Chains A and B, each alone.
Chain A
Amino acid sequence: MDKIKSLADLKKKRDAIQGSLNLRENGDNSESMIQIKVAMATCGIAAGAKQVMETLIEQCSSKKIDAVVTQTGCMGYCYAEPTVEITKPGQDPIVFGHVSVEKAKELVEKYILNNEMVEGIIPQNYQSIDK
């Protein structure tokens, strides 16, 4: 192991390892983060939700977006799988349907980063119980 010989060394070390704790930090501050939920029930997985989730995680970490990506069960829109729900802090959740890997990148680029609306919104007609 290399010795830490100065403040600069310590900072370098910290920056190198901080990423590995991001997931935990973000979970801890989840109220102030963008929350992304990928429906990962059988229907979602069959439609490619796993790859979509991986893409979202990669995109968010490479673009340094403070987001928490989690999976949920079936949201009930099996006709539109894979589905992804995005909640920005202080805003209502929006559900997007038919999210492919490309679409996932577009969501990050346009909706999350630039606040542009993206096609494929599923109108929500229920209130989640744990709110």
Chain B
Amino acid sequence: MANYKYHILICGGTGCRASKSGEIVQNFKNILKQENLDNEIQVITTGCFGFCEKGPIVKILPDNTFYTQVKPEDCEEIVKEHFIKGRKVTRLLYTDPEKKEHVSDSKHMNFYKKQMRIALRNCGFINPENIDEYIARDGYAALAKVLEQNDPQATIDIIKKSGLRGRGGGGFPTGLKWEIASKNPADQKYIICNADEGDPGAFMDRSILEGDPHSIIEAMTIGGFCIGATKGLVYIRAEYPLAIQRLQIAIEQAREYGLLGKDLLGSGFDFDLELRYGAGAFVCGEETALIHSMEGQRGEPTFKPPFPAQEGYLKKPSNVNNVETFANIPVIINKGWEWFSSIGTEKSKGTKVFALAGQINNVGLIEVPMGITLREVIFEIGGGIKNGKKFKAVQTGGPSGGCLTEEFLDTPIDYDNLIAAGSMMGSGGMIVMDETSCMPAVARFYLDFTCEESCGKCSPCRVGNKRLCELLDKITSGKGTMEDLENIKNLSQVIKDTALCGLGQTSPNPVLSTISHFWDEYVAHVVDKKCPAGQCKALKQYIIDPEKCKGCTACARNCPVGAIKGTVKNPHEINQELCIKCGTCQAKCKFGAISVQ
């Protein structure tokens, strides 16, 4: 075996691959060969490092050097400087946005300091296409332990005591769910992994499957053993080709090692896995819709009960868990429930992965202990708001969640606190908004999404959300009345109370939470016909300052609808009736005479 001095880890997640990380891997391999270093330096493609904002990422171990935005043509310089001459390539190092200094290694990056990686433990560390690397990190040891002990209830008890709750949004205690499924007798049961991940902006499940697929296989096998299922199904959206490919490779390798199939590890327990592809409908992430979709029926929810644990896939008892939930299982078994339950808050244990996005410096994937505050996440890990702007709100829980304002910045994040604050954990999308975001428009954006994704089976959701959307349209186009605001509130409540599934029941949340936290902003749209954030196009006014206008006619010549009148060398004027708020005039004026109000 070659005695490597260095490992080059290159992110092979979807984001970094889109910016040529595949080519970077190839270049490194070629150059190392030319330089005769291929026996000293190993090149490994890994899963996501989470720091997607600055990808492609190249990390060098053991010195933890963290190179960002690496281009294929930088490989030669890294080899010559870093490995041959022993000097870091400073220009590729991460630059701290506040101190404007290069950071020599990942141990000194604020982005990683407060993180705690359980579900993402192997992402960005191992080669996901090599089962040996997973085994070297204690992979399949939890399964071996569970099978050797041969006591499903004992394992269920460990999961129960660990306090693990579902990471797919609902936060239902996982151990309890397994116990219920285990107690329903049947000739065949199923364990199902929900990898539909429909929440816009969330990509933690994809990253886990791409970066550490064996952890899901191992956990599903453990789950299968506990509830008495010999078959596992992964429902994954077809839009995740790389995750599907890595999962297929992993399943193949596990079968070759005898870690899937018959008589696992000599225990007599048989288990195998199959993939099922979803077409990417949000509602198919709801467990009953998911099951119907797998059965080849329309992806529509049905009323619960019966719960999947009673009557699931093909009417057999089934247990549905989220990808991230599964990813926690092997670690809990290896390290013990005491360890897991020592992390987090009283009722929310362990960690949560969030996809940080929006107006924030460090966009990416992070895993933090429950109980961390939003302030730590946004200002320390996330590096604060982009371009020095002011924080306004953070949206969690996607289309089912709500917005949290400054007053919640110091609230510890857990399932119950987020609900009390009018939002929810959801699957972990976290979108940070600055002062230029318009809250009624944000609410409208999410409602638009729900309207698109409503399956149409029940009228509160199908019709109600459409009406809600129209009411919000009125507000953002300056035609709303105070009565409309009251109607929005009432209609929202009705939808919440009467919709059939979780999609409809939660769809008014973005509206309700923004109404309660940003009432003044709604009123400004209705009464003053102004959008305080300056986002709502219909409420914008382009105005020419006669003092600054030199009468150059540039704006009038470029206005696509001829809304600007004026004569050479005299101040021009915009006809507000004709103006379509395209902003062309403002861009064309060389004298800064045109402003928006």
Contacts and interface: CB of A to CB of B under 8 A. Distances in A.
Interface stretch (B255-263, B272-280, B305-313): B255-263
B3 A57 contact: yes
A20 B86 contact: no
Given A14-B138, A72-B86, A58 B108 contact: no
Contact of B265 (A6, A24, A27, A44): A6
Interface in A17-32: 17-21, 23-24, 26-28, 30-31
Contacts of A21: 126, 133, 136-137
A26 B62 contact: yes
Interface in A47-72: 53-54, 57-58, 61, 68-72
A13 B135 CA distance: 8
A58 B141 contact: no
Most buried by A among B1, B108, B144: B144
A10 B135 contact: yes
A4 B3 contact: no
A107 interface: no
Interface residues of A, number: 40
A130 B259 CA distance: 46
A130 B108 CA distance: 9
Contacts of B104: 130
A23 B4 contact: yes
Given A10-B141, A14-B141, A71-B86, A30 B258 contact: no
B262 to A, nearest CB: 10
Contacts of B147: 7
Nearest to A40: B86
A95 to B, nearest CB: 15
Interface string B132-175: 11011110110011011000000000000000000000000000
B86 A14 contact: no
A73 B125 contact: no
B19 interface: no
Closest 3 CB pairs of A and B: A27-B62, A3-B258, A27-B61
5 contacts: A4-B140, A10-B140, A23-B6, A26-B62, A27-B61
Interface of A: 1-7, 9-10, 13-14, 17-21, 23-24, 26-28, 30-31, 39-42, 44, 53-54, 57-58, 61, 68-73, 130
